[in-house]
Structure 1
Amino acid sequence: MSSIRFFHCADLHLDSPFKGMSDLPSHAFKRLRNSTFDAFQQLINDAIQERPDFILIVGDLYDGEERSLRAQQIFQKGMEQLALYNIPVIISYGNHDHLSGKWTRFSLPSNVQAMPAETKTITLHIRGMNVNITGFSYRERHIPQAMVQSYPAATDREAIHIGMLHGSIRGDATHDVYAPFTIEDLLSKQYDYWALGHIHKRQILYENPMIVYPGNIQSRHRKELGVKGFYDIELSKGQATYNFRPASAVVFEEIEVDCEKILHANDLLKVCAEAIDGFRKEYGAGLVWLHLKNIDERARTLFEDAQLAEWVDIMREEQENETPFVWIQAIAVDLSSISHYKPTFASESVLQAINEWSDDEMKEILKELYQHPKAGRYLDELTTEDLKNLRFDAEHLFKLGFQ
């Protein structure tokens, strides 16, 4: 039996507002605001060059339920480009761009088919072979029920069966539950490939058959580090090969800077500039968080005499005329190599209390910040992983203060 080839992507989040990053220079912020569109165009360009049999886009094409005119126009033009090359596209809408939203609709070309709210199977005929693609679109923002139960089991063993599912693994406390499923649920359907969406981290949950999250195509905040993109899949009965294709227009990343034997300010600025230049050569435009490590007692005085904000400003000034732009979002100084923390009854009692707080107690402590009428709009909902990191950071800072 011959194989088929398709692109699997998800979570385009076209026209993401990039909250909390408006302090960038105007040219850099414009590039950042356009990055989801640029990443989408990279997907289109790759498809035109490679000519896959079809493309799957598994939910959250748009960033919000009120899809912007600009985002819809750019998506519609991209679909028209693919139509010129007879490349079919199957899309489903997710929790961000659910069908109950309000927007001014654009007409999509005939090569595009959208999954309805009720689970549906769309059949493509490729080189004499049937390819059955099953999925659904979110009727409303939150779907707590296990939609996978509505997917029909594969019965035609001559056809290829693909499931599109925008949702999360049941029991995964790091994400809100949307259309939950288990690996066993998916395997029971006897499909040849599961094209997932919703989780922005690229990961392969199962190899045979492949169960795949491609991640999003463009980072939007610090939790989404690294190069983003989509999967190029070649699939036949019982076998699949995959190739990751990068699409990021702006790469978000943490850069570790080795500060061993640094004595003077100019030495520190030099090693940071070299690290940024290396990033630029490898990835192009980016937003970076510098993590300064291997700080000894002599280098520590550099940060006692000048605030981190001043260091950030100087480094930004050094980079402002370089292209493509790399914006330094923040600097973190790791002083663990020179930590001289000595436990006391008082300090250990405080640390014990922090570590014993439940997630609900942590959220209660932070409630005032998250309910602030202005600041609250720019804060994402806290996950279990976020709370774990907050405890770790609080303990680290507390110990530094007790040196």
Structure 2
Amino acid sequence: MKPLLFIHTADLHLDSPFKGLAHLPESLLKQIHESSFNSFRKMIDIALEHNVDFIIISGDLYDNENRSLKAQLFLRKEFARLDQRDIPVFIIHGNHDHLSGDWVTITWPKNVHVFSNELECKRWVNRNGTSVHLYGFSYQEREVLERKIDHYKKVDGADYHIGLLHGQEQNITGHNPYAPFHWSELEEKEFDYWALGHIHKLTKLKPTIFYSGNILGRHRKETGKKGCLLVELNDTKEVSTEFIETAPLIWETIELSINKITSAEQFFTYCDQRIDEIRMKNGSYMLHLNFSGEGPAAEVLEEKVQMDEWIEHVNSDQGYNNTFVWISSYENNTKKKWDIQQLLQQEDFLGDITRVTEHLAESSPEDIKEVLKELYGHRKAKQFLQPLNDDEYEKLLQDGRDLILKELLKEWGS
């Protein structure tokens, strides 16, 4: 029995529309639209360079069930490169590219093996006689809520057993709970490796159970390096993995604190320096700026026209032929630094407001809930409201106080 070397990837979303980016320069928008294809092409280069035994794609090759012809023809060309080296590809389809869609059918090279909507065991034997059983299924419809893991059963007669599954581990939140499972259920199957898809972040559940993540971030919540897993199984069934970056474009969030900023000039200089640090990495980045802290610079961030002009200047002051750094969005979580003690001592309306809000801030969450009871019980409003935890109640009070003080001081010319 010889060691196995293969690539595990998932969630390609090759025809992703990248919504909300139509305002970008045409040359930049073209690079972004091609980035998922370039990421996949690089992965194929890696497979050929390492002469892997096979590639596993664990669902969502396409972004929707109506697969674009462009994406299909691209995949066929790349799979043909593998076929020339006798490297097979094993594919399951997920919730985005399920089998009930409508698309132009093309013929795949002979090295491409697609699992049907019923759980299958596909057998593969390499030139050295090492045998592998691969188990998986493709989604027939977009929503698969059944615990498909119950149908996976080891079929004897192979050196290695590998499971392919596009679904959500039940301890992971924030995603649709398709084909749910618990990691312990996977371990009970005694497979040598589980190649998972659906979660867009590289995640190791156990030494033999991995989500490879997606090959390219598609929006600001999918930050960081993206790529594939190079997996080796040795003759003692030990698993070793290497993450290999393939994405030519990275979405990143920069945390910017204004705590030590005392002027508008210092604020913009600081921001420029932080963005230059990203440029030094020599890659393409879509940036989201998250401003936090308190101080005079909070007033700069409140001037939307001024901020928009600065962002336009930063974005236009570069070329887009090879690499770029683009500010795609920002959020303002700053606040002005109030002299609360001084306001508390004032015998005027500002002082009264400050004393009331400080008293509320010292109240228990139960007192605040009582104040908001009528709102949360309103027959129309309550459907749009989510329960708040203690920290969220505290932040609600602070934000409310800051808003009132800001508006009052603006009116008083202070």
Matched, 1:108 2:127: no
Give the conservation status (yes or no) of the 8 Å contact 1:251–1:283. Answer: no
Aligned with 2:291: secondary structure?
strand
Q: What SS does the aligned partner of 1:96 have?
A: coil
Q: Residues 190, 324 of structure 1: CA spacing in aligned structure 2 closer, same or farther, 3 A cutoff?
A: same
Contact 1:13–1:61 under 8 Å retained in 2: yes
Alignment correspondent of 2:349: none
CA spacing shift, 1:107–1:336, aligned 2, 3 Å: same
Structure 2 residue 333 is the aligned partner of structure 1 residue 314: no
Equivalent residue number for residue 287 of structure 1? 286
Q: Which moved more, 1:172-181 or 1:321-330?
A: 321-330
Identity %: 34
Q: CA deviation at 1:142?
A: 1.0
Partner of 1:32: 32
In the TM superposition, residue 266 of structure 1 has moved relative to its aligned partner by 3.8
Deviations 1:262-294 (A, max 9, x none): 344443333222222222332611110112345
Question: Number of matched residues?
Answer: 379
Give the Cα separation in 2 of the matches to 1:206 and 1:89: 24
Q: 1:352 to 1:35 in 2, by over 3 A?
A: farther
- Asked whether the 8 Å contact 1:15–1:34 carries over to 2, the reply is no
SS in 2 for 1:131: strand
Q: Check conservation: 2:360, 2:397, Cα contact below 8 A.
A: no
Partner of 1:153: 154
| Cα distance change, pair 28–43 in 1 and its aligned pair in 2 (3 A) | same
In structure 2, C-alpha distance between the alignment counterparts of 1:343 and 1:235, rounded to whole Å: 61
Alignment-derived partner of residue 410 in structure 2: none
Partner of 2:88: 88
2:50 aligned partner: 50
Deviations 1:96-122 (A, max 9, x none): 111111100111101111111111111
Instruction: Tell me, in whole angstroms, the C-alpha distance in 1 between the residues paired with 2:391 and 2:225.
Output: 23
1:314-362 CA distance string (max 9 Å, x none): 33233467951211012233425836684465998489749x969x999
Q: Which residues in structure 2 correspond to 1:125-144 (within 5 Å)?
A: 125-126=125-126, 127-144=128-145
1:381 matched to which residue of 2? none
Letter in 1 for 2:189: K
2:10–2:61 contact (8 Å) kept in structure 1: yes
The Cα offsets for residues 2-36 of structure 1, whole Å up to 9 and x where unpaired, read as 31100000000001001112121111111111111
Q: 1:376: which partner in 2?
A: none
What SS class does the counterpart of residue 273 from structure 1 fall into? helix
1:72-128 deviation digits (Å, cap 9, x = unpaired): 111111111111221111011111111111100111101111111111111111322
- Name the CA distance, whole Å, in 2 between partners of 1:345 and 1:129: 70
Partner of 1:71: 71
Tell me, in whole angstroms, the C-alpha distance in 1 between the residues paired with 2:27 and 2:69.
Answer: 22
Residue 239 of structure 2 corresponds to residue 240 of structure 1 = yes
What is the rounded CA distance, in whole Å, between the counterparts of 1:287 and 1:94 in structure 2? 27
1:272 matched residue in structure 2: 271
Distance in 1 of aligned mates of 2:97 and 2:9: 16
Q: What residue ranges of structure 1 are gaps of 5+ in the alignment?
A: 367-383
Distance 1:401 1:351 in 2: 22
Counterpart Cα distance in 2 of 1:389 and 1:46: 47
Cα distance between partner residues in 2 of 1:361 and 1:183: 41
Instruction: Between 36-45 and 322-331, report the one with greater CA deviation.
Output: 322-331
> Secondary structure, in 3 states, of the residue corresponding to 1:42?
helix
Aligned equivalents of 1:388, 1:320: Cα separation in 2: 47
The one-letter amino acid of 1:9's match is T
Amino acid aligned to 2:210: V
Partners of 2:237 and 2:143 lie apart in 1 by 34
TM-score (norm 2): 0.81
Instruction: Provide the rounded CA distance (Å) in 2 between the counterparts of 1:388 and 1:204.
Output: 32
Going from structure 1 to structure 2, the CA distance change for 1:305 and 1:191 (only over 3 Å counts) comes to: closer
Is the contact made by 1:63 and 1:96 (CA closer than 8 Å) also made in structure 2? yes
* Cross-structure match for 1:330: 329
CA distance in structure 2 between the partners assigned to 1:98 and 1:17 by the alignment = 18
In structure 1, what is the Cα distance between the partners aligned to 2:390 and 2:174? Answer: 10
C-alpha separation in 1, matches of 2:275 and 2:47? 32
**1:173 to 1:291, Cα distance in 2 relative to 1, 3 A:** closer
Q: Distance in 2 between matches of 1:322 and 1:65?
A: 33
1:295 to partner: Cα distance? 4.6
3-state SS of paired residue (2:317): helix
Q: CA RMSD in A?
A: 3.4
Query: Residue 403 of structure 2 corresponds to which residue in structure 1?
Result: 401
Measure the CA separation in 2 of the matches of 1:219 and 1:388: 33
Equivalent position SS for 1:224? coil
SS of structure 1 residue aligned to 2:280: helix
What secondary structure is seen at the aligned counterpart in 2 of 1:268?
A: helix
Is 1:220 matched with 2:223? no
Instruction: Tell me, yes or no, if the aligned pair for 1:259 and 1:271 is still in contact at 8 Å.
Output: no
Residues 323/265 of structure 1: CA separation in 2 closer, same or farther (3 Å cut) = farther
Identify the residue that residue 301 of structure 2 maps to in structure 1: 303
Q: Does 79-88 or 269-278 show the bigger shift?
A: 269-278
Partner SS, residue 338 of structure 1: coil
Partner of 1:375: none
8 Å contact 2:154–2:161 — kept in the other structure? no
Residue 381 of structure 2 is aligned to residue 365 of structure 1 = no
After TM superposition, give the deviation of residue 224 of structure 1 in Å: 0.9
Amino acid at match of 2:147: A
SS of the aligned residue for 1:34 comes to helix
> Do the aligned partners of residues 301 and 145 (structure 1) sit closer, same or farther apart at CA in structure 2, a change above 3 Å counting?
closer
Alpha-carbon offset, residue 185 of structure 1: 1.4
Change beyond 3 A, Cα 1:17–1:259:
same
Unaligned runs of 5+ in 2: 341-353, 406-414
**Aligned amino acid, residue 6 of structure 2:** F
- Distance (whole Å) between structure 2 residues aligned to residue 243 and residue 5 of structure 1: 11
**C-alpha separation in 2, matches of 1:24 and 1:71:** 23
Query: What is the aligned partner in structure 2 of residue 205 from structure 1?
Result: 205
Question: How far 1:174 moved relative to its partner?
Answer: 2.1
| Counterparts of 2:382 and 2:123, CA distance in 1 | 47
Amino acid at match of 2:232: E
Q: Which residue of the partner structure matches residue 168 of structure 2?
A: 168
Q: Distance in 2 between matches of 1:389 and 1:202?
A: 30
Taking structure 1 as reference, are residues 48 and 357 closer, same or farther at Cα in structure 2, changes over 3 Å only? farther
